[in-house]
Structure 1
């Protein structure tokens, strides 16, 4: 059995890298925490997990087109004439009591979003420790899309995470970058659909021009980062390079509707210079080459390393740890399994006390795991909406913030207290002894103050709420 100090470090590591301890799990985890986390890096189940229906963008688009057609037909259909004699309010066709109508199903885009969120939630609840799922969420926020942009992004956000993020979490950053930037959800979210090479056949004929949104965010948010050495001229050049990257239209002219397509008629012709290098490849290959070089750039290595250390360790990332992670990125040419392993194997990370406040999504998942709850869609979607972090709905292309200040405002903490109280009420019937649960979930992290507060609670729901709001549970 591990020593007391080692068990404390293991408890810190499980909080830091995982999604929260589950009932009945603590003892086994505390003695082999680091190996458990490292084993998740070696696992390939993260890419295509069992038990989750894998619906691709083409199938989702087909279903949505059928839905949209049916909706249009229903709107255009002539109304059925009503009987001259009005029916008695509340009466059925035979004059008797009206048959209650079942609640109407929400529209297809809403159902798709709901089902995708719940599939993601289930994977987070079932994960042994949750490092892989944490990384899926981290990278999904790094390459974020927003469901409130339009219907396309709403129906595609879940597929984007499954297709562009999940398969590459322990693969190569260059592959994730290409998959993310060429995914229909990203092309739609950052308006590359609207970008036309000014000197392309379509640009010459229609007088259309560039939309630089995607090109700018690739440089600023996805690769080099602010201060990464690029200029406005580089933004414009990259925007030209990726003209023609679009979502295949419904008419099938560019292939299967709803998936990535390259349209040569709107691609800016000729060589382009980006970060001092000339790219003269034909068509889509020009953008692929540019992204590959951006993925290998030293500024990208440092930007990614800084974000990872900020996410997992502290708002002010320790410089030495950032240097180590950036070096692992460069040395491995962006192998994210190597990068993740360097982070987990750092003794400094395991010894540092928890300093990060769990985001609303992390807090809710940790609470469900600790209480043994299997939430319904309303408990997930409604709660995260109230707490200010609905899934795949960041305030901007830079994603949800990753600092304590973003989630520790007075209003944010008040909302969190309300949520903890409600969760305590819902779970009280299934928890025999909150004191025992506190010992199990927090283990060596449990302080005398929290132990006493839980023991002195006036009721079981209050005791559970105090556990969830304790500093040991809130921080990771």
Structure 2
């Protein structure tokens, strides 16, 4: 029996994170069945080093601890005293811990499709900058993972109203003009449209989804009240959630439908209807197909969108329809993003490579962890990461990793792990003829098969 064929490579790279030791053998003789079997199966726990992952409540407290420390430093300076040097955890510190967790999961998980879905949906609902190091892990574990194989409406509600999103898109500062806070502020606090605009353009309907500026304003008013308190002490036990004094009262009309609910139910109802809109089916299907498979596949996009509509946005059914469609199994065409490249390397090696450090490598490669350049997230075009300077940086990264690897690393065995019999003759020849094991490893990591999925 062959160790691998083209379908095996698609299974582990397009619908996974790259082959782990022994994985190619496990998926034969049915690569599609191997991928589908991961849906609905609970993941085995992954042991990790360091502190337990943060939840959102603890993340919010870390934000307050940081603010208190900075305020104490500033107060001491104003009084002419020495800086007290109060230490506090920085968001970047927690971001690096979360990156370490992601690498460990990638290396050890028996459900690589689930990990790829989490990576995908975290990018669909991008949050970045500022305090994301404190809140991003909570968003992934509380809003994304529990809902990414359920109704899209539940995922849209959970991600939109999560404190990470409220922070990132400024909804915590959005006050309804007629709300208690808006009236009391005498115009100093007002409506912020950022979250509403991105929900419509990037998270649900898409830019061509038929909404107007009036719909943006209406949704912004609907979303008022969903905020975060940084008061010290807070006015109530929980720092994040629905605060009625910020909410614009009264009914609002969005996309021709009037929402008369008062309170938090108004946002939930509006977001649920957006999730069920036909334009959302088209947009979500188009983006999923282009992320997983590639551009230029309108038939596949249409078929996945039809399943979305027919199942009321059941993301397990939508994912299954993508995996079972013959057109989704075309040969690899997308250049791996830097994050995908490092995750695949961790999986191939059985653990994160210690050098160069993953955080530093991602910065050099152009995709710093949880720091997408805009709410749109990272580019998903097929060759988005194939610019000449990017390829040069990948060469430098692979050379440094190989130079710092264990001297007896067997790149030929890793070639079998990654591709088995499906490795091209050119790649096999380059690895076998390398001057030494480290050069062979660098050539494997830079091979066309490893760079694309």
Establish whether TM, by shorter chain, passes 0.5: yes
Mapped to 2, the partners of 1:273 and 1:75 lie a distance apart of: 46
What displacement does 1:189 show? 0.5
Are residue 457 (structure 1) and residue 434 (structure 2) matched? yes
Cα 1:404–1:321 change in 2 (3 A) is closer
Instruction: Specify the SS of the correspondent of 1:246.
Output: strand
Q: Does structure 2 retain, via aligned residues, the 8 Å contact 1:264–1:283?
A: yes
Instruction: Specify the SS of the correspondent of 1:427.
Output: coil
Cα 1:453–1:129 change in 2 (3 A) is farther
Task: Give 2:61's aligned residue.
Answer: 62
Q: Which of 384, 402, 405 is the matching residue for 1:427? A: 405
Cα 1:458–1:8 change in 2 (3 A) is same
Q: Does structure 2 retain, via aligned residues, the 8 Å contact 1:243–1:267?
A: yes
- Aligned pairs (5 A) from 1:351-390: 352-376=330-354, 379-390=357-368
Q: Does structure 1 retain, via aligned residues, the 8 Å contact 2:335–2:384?
A: no
Cα 1:272–1:377 change in 2 (3 A) is farther
Which deviates further from its counterpart, 407-416 or 110-119? 110-119
Task: Give 2:191's aligned residue.
Answer: 210
Q: Which of 306, 309, 334 is the matching residue for 1:330? A: 309
Task: Give 2:211's aligned residue.
Answer: 230
Q: Which of 391, 396, 400 is the matching residue for 2:369? A: 391
* Deviation digits for residues 183-232 of structure 1 (CA, Å, limit 9, x no counterpart): 11101100112211112232223213211100000000000001111111
Q: Which of 408, 418, 431 is the matching residue for 1:441? A: 418
| TM-score, scaled to structure 1 | 0.87
Instruction: Specify the SS of the correspondent of 2:5.
Output: helix
Q: Which of 155, 163, 168 is the matching residue for 1:184? A: 163
| TM-score, scaled to structure 2 | 0.91
* Deviation digits for residues 280-324 of structure 1 (CA, Å, limit 9, x no counterpart): 1111111111000001111101100001110111122x1121111
Q: Does structure 2 retain, via aligned residues, the 8 Å contact 1:12–1:445?
A: no
Q: Does structure 2 retain, via aligned residues, the 8 Å contact 1:11–1:443?
A: no
Cα 1:72–1:105 change in 2 (3 A) is closer
Q: What count of residue pairs does the alignment treat as equivalent?
A: 443
Mapped to 2, the partners of 1:467 and 1:459 lie a distance apart of: 12
Task: Give 2:110's aligned residue.
Answer: 128
Task: Give 1:24's aligned residue.
Answer: 22
Mapped to 2, the partners of 1:213 and 1:295 lie a distance apart of: 19
What displacement does 1:107 show? 3.4
Q: Does structure 2 retain, via aligned residues, the 8 Å contact 1:8–1:444?
A: no
Q: Does structure 2 retain, via aligned residues, the 8 Å contact 1:12–1:354?
A: yes
Mapped to 1, the partners of 2:360 and 2:434 lie a distance apart of: 28
Mapped to 2, the partners of 1:425 and 1:59 lie a distance apart of: 40
Cα 1:132–1:358 change in 2 (3 A) is same
What displacement does 1:158 show? 1.6
Task: Give 1:90's aligned residue.
Answer: none
Q: Which of 122, 130, 138 is the matching residue for 1:159? A: 138
* Deviation digits for residues 99-156 of structure 1 (CA, Å, limit 9, x no counterpart): xxxxx9983433222212211221122123511111101000000000x2x2x33311
Q: Where do 5+ consecutive residues of structure 1 fail to align? A: 82-103
Q: Which of 222, 227, 244 is the matching residue for 1:264? A: 244
Task: Give 1:417's aligned residue.
Answer: 395
What displacement does 1:382 show? 0.4
Q: Where do 5+ consecutive residues of structure 2 fail to align? A: none
Q: Does structure 2 retain, via aligned residues, the 8 Å contact 1:7–1:30?
A: no
- Aligned pairs (5 A) from 1:33-112: 33-45=31-43, 49=45, 51=47, 53-73=52-72, 76=75, 107-112=89-94
Instruction: Specify the SS of the correspondent of 1:17.
Output: coil
Task: Give 2:450's aligned residue.
Answer: 473
Mapped to 1, the partners of 2:380 and 2:244 lie a distance apart of: 39
Larger radius of gyration: 1
Q: Does structure 2 retain, via aligned residues, the 8 Å contact 1:169–1:336?
A: yes
Instruction: Specify the SS of the correspondent of 1:404.
Output: coil
What displacement does 1:367 show? 1.5
Cα 1:306–1:264 change in 2 (3 A) is same
Task: Give 2:318's aligned residue.
Answer: 339
Which deviates further from its counterpart, 214-223 or 61-70? 61-70
Task: Give 1:300's aligned residue.
Answer: 280
Mapped to 2, the partners of 1:76 and 1:252 lie a distance apart of: 19
Mapped to 1, the partners of 2:74 and 2:214 lie a distance apart of: 48
